[in-house]
Amino acid sequence: MDSDWVFNNDCNCPIKKTSVYFDNNIIPEVFYNAVINRNKDQIFSIIKKNPRLSKNVITFFQHTLANAFNFKKNANFGAPVKIHWKLNNNQKIIMNFNEQVEYYQYIIKRQWNITNFGYLFNTIRTYLSKLSYGLYLVKIKNCESKCYYKYGININNDEEYRVFAMRFL
């Protein structure tokens, strides 16, 4: 294989930055202070206003990092990935394949509330679970569904809740 071939890149680069570095710097800027302070209510209010970013965080963990781990486990190689959301201090982070695997293991091996990204992921997952259950109550026309209106923005009836929840689910 020629060295000037376009796809001739080393996907098995050595680890350049530690998982602790990524855990401190990979949190989206809008979530950063709330995650560092472990303020669940503030994170919920940010999630309400940023459904697309919340989906991107979930997708990054469940698809990008988990797939990198599975590729490594099956003796395959993956590709570097760039973090596309706005980071604190306008940083630009590109994780190579081995860094993705190590970071995934770093998050998985610890309790959810110990790592910053694990805490953010678990909080978003909890919010989506509550939103989904509220949507279920709306669909079966249960009177307790009104208790879940607080998870939306300016929700006054079941139809508004349904429309809001569909932005996430």
Region 130-156: mean pLDDT is 88
Q: Is the pLDDT of residue 10 over 50?
A: yes
Residue 85 lies in a domain: yes
User: For position 78, what pLDDT does the model report?
Assistant: 81
Percent of the chain with pLDDT over 90: 60
User: For position 11, what pLDDT does the model report?
Assistant: 61
Q: Is the pLDDT of residue 76 over 90?
A: no
Residue 24 lies in a domain: yes
Burial class (CB in 10 A: 0-12, 13-18, 19+), 99: buried
Residue 82 lies in a domain: yes
Q: Are 120 and 25 in contact (CB under 8 A)?
A: no
**Number of domains into which the chain is organized:** 1
CA 13, 14, 15, 17 dihedral sign is negative
**Mind listing the pLDDT tens digit for each residue in 32-48?**
999 999 999 999 999 99
